[in-house]
Amino acid sequence: MAAVHTGSIATTPTTARRHSLQRRGPPALRGWITLDPLFRKVCAAFGLSIVSLLGFVVYELLRGSSASLARFGASFVFDRIWDPVAEKFGAATFVYGTAVTSVIALLIAVPLGIGIAIFLVEMAPRAVREVAGFLVELLAAIPSIVYGLWGLFVLAPIVRDGLAPVLRTTLGFLPLFTGPSYGLGMLTAGLILAVMVLPFIAAVSRDVLSAVPQMQREGSLALGATKWETIWHVVLPYGRAGISGAVILALGRALGETMAVTMVIGNSPQIVASLFAPGYTMSSVIANEYSEASGQLYLSSLTELGLLLFVVTFAVNGVARLLIWRMSRGAEGSRA
Amino acid sequence: MLSTLGFRTTAVLALAFAFAACNKSSPTPSDTQASSSAATQASGGNITINGAGSSFVYPLLSRWSADYQKVSPTVQINYQSVGSGAGIRQVIAHTVQFGATDGPMTDDQLKEAGAPVLHIPLVMGAIVPTYNLPELPHAIRFTSDALTHIFLGDVKTWNDPKIASANPDLKLPSTPVVVVHRSDGSGSTYIWADYLAKVSPEWKTKVGVATSLNWPVGIGGKGNEGVAGTVRQTPGAIGYVELTYALQNKLPLGEIKNAAGSFIAPTIESVTAAAAGALATLPDDLRYSITNSPGDKAWPASGTTWAIVYQNMPAGPERKSLVSFLRWTLQDGQKACAPLSYAPLPAELVEKAAAKLDLLEPAKK
């Protein structure tokens, strides 16, 4: 790089003179030389590329699913039948499976993740904090196929022989915990997802809680609040927006996770109350069937599932952002 | 100044790379032809043949590709294991020179292809039932009736008379039957369903034949390993896997009563016998199905992997190399089958397949 630079100056003295002339010119021209506006434009282009990429994805999804949209219309979302032989396609079972597994995952991972964050920031000694924090982040680095195989060979038998019988005897009065368990099903998929999204919630929440000013805690303790009261009434509300962000990130991961879920959910398109029963998710069916799908309508229906997943993720994120926005406004209001 | 210039250079370089990458990723047909003929003109230049499709045949094809490199060092065979359906789509889109598929192209697909496509059998495969019932002294024997009703969900326990009647000497438990099937679209599912549809009109109307099905019962595992893993994990489970995978992993396998009325154990020989038994009835275009083959020793759930090639492929070094490669797989290549647990084609079928290649590029006398 340096060679190019000196070379260009040495061989073209006129350019060098022009540069030095412009350097003494008005500020606007000087800006040109330092390439600031160009830099701004390049950055703007990078920023816009996200938007155009998103637009392109939507366009491609719409184009790809046009045959299915025309054939099934709105009934695609509500129809339960997915029959590639008869070319009848409905997405309801997949939407249900995606929603249920994500809800299970969040129900487990949110309290656990925030609990880990509170422990690491507020209670753990420094050595424990760093080692445990590192281990939590390490969970996020494990490939999902490894989670999937672990789920199939380790978690599934535990669910079948350990967890499911216990749940059946204690909570069996709920339709959620009835029927036989083969180990593979929505509960197992939810559990795997919980483990997978846990590091997102724990790590982000930990950073958020670390950023809460020490003054807030000291003030609360000085007023005679206990440690619990300080955490519950001062630290957590202060970090509410950030923690919600962590949960949304986790939800996004849970909605879209494919490989690990495919390995343990049982891949059976049905809507059954029992969480022990096998189910199916939108991303799993796309991953499973796209490569072998034959026929225009079949491919188009799979693409429409992708579109639907996109819409669901988009809607969930939108609603969550709205919630955060209202919450942070509410928090300001209560403080005032 | 140094840093701004550096930035400018980097940006220009990045753009240049981006454009280069764009150009590279979408070669026009004329580009590929020009480049390949240029490669052959420069004497000793390499010819690359691209194929895509069946994942079943992938281990064998990579072995073939490596072995063929020794026979003909200038020809490089690239094969992407993307699935039969995707292979057919890539052939139709002209992005590869040949495809490999576990099920013949349908009439609709041939219509979509726009020009005649040759089907050249490469190797045989079979689908076998595997189950998880420990403590049985020998393999369970299944009649086609028992298998159909297990996979339709009518047979609920292992001591059901439909299973027990063919196994008087086995003490079958009352364990519930758990059906495991492939969740991913697969040629295995196609062959299994094709067999069940041939032996049961009920299966044909209720479920049908395709690479993915609307299963009446059961849980889905991804790939052979997913099905085998689920079966191994679940007491009372029964699933179907490729013979190759089952033999390599020493899974417990069931015997099936074939069309000739004898119980057959799944072996490489019984799969080759299925093709030999069906020879008389093979259609001219070789888009056959050999499930429920009439042969005495035939394994009923047998199938074939075909190479698919456009008959009007333009003449040139690429076509020549592709045909010589395929010809080699039908002769010397077949010897590599058995060590990898694939079943070789019977000799009569090799002749028929070679005759198809003659349509593309006449054999040297």
pLDDT digits (tens, 9 = 90+) for B111-156: 989 999 999 999 999 999 999 998 888 899 999 999 999 999 999 9
The per-residue pLDDT for A29 is: 56
Query: At B94, phi and psi to the nearest 5?
Result: 60, 30
Q: A294–B220: do the CB atoms touch at under 8 Å?
A: no
Radius of gyration of chain B (CA): 24
Chain B contact present for A220, CB below 8 A = no
pLDDT digits (tens, 9 = 90+) for A92-128: 999 999 999 999 999 999 999 999 999 999 988 988 8
Mutate to test the interface with B, among A12, A292, A305 (most CBs of B within 10 A): A292
Q: A85–B213: do the CB atoms touch at under 8 Å?
A: yes
Cα distance between residue A90 and residue A263, in whole Å? 22
Chain A contact present for B214, CB below 8 A = yes
Task: Closest CB to A85: pick one of B214, B218, B226.
Answer: B214
Looking at per-residue pLDDT, the higher value among B295 and A50 belongs to A50
Q: B183–A262: do the CB atoms touch at under 8 Å?
A: yes
The per-residue pLDDT for B264 is: 93
Chain B contact present for A222, CB below 8 A = no
- B323 — alpha (psi -120 to 50), left (phi > 0) or beta? alpha
Which residues in chain A touch residue B214, judged by CB atoms under 8 angstroms apart? 81-86, 269
Do the bridges between strand B75-81 and strand B263-264 make them parallel or antiparallel, or are there none, so unpaired? Answer: unpaired
Residue A28 CA, chain-centre distance (Å), reads 44
* Portion of chain B with pLDDT greater than 90, in percent: 61
For residue B327, name the pLDDT band (cuts at 50, 70, 90).
very high
Which pTM value belongs to this model? 0.79
Q: Give, for B49, the enclosing helix (H) or strand (E).
A: strand B47-53
Alpha-carbon distance values, B112 to A148, A335, B16, B92 (Å): 38, 68, 38, 8
Query: At B31, phi and psi to the nearest 5?
Result: -60, -50
Residue A296 CA, chain-centre distance (Å), reads 31
Chain A contact present for B221, CB below 8 A = yes
- Sketch out chain A's domains with CATH numbers: 68-335 (1.10.3720.10)
Query: Taking a C-beta distance cutoff of 8 angstroms, is the pair B118, B308 a contact?
Result: yes
* Portion of chain B with pLDDT greater than 70, in percent: 87
* Portion of chain A with pLDDT greater than 90, in percent: 53
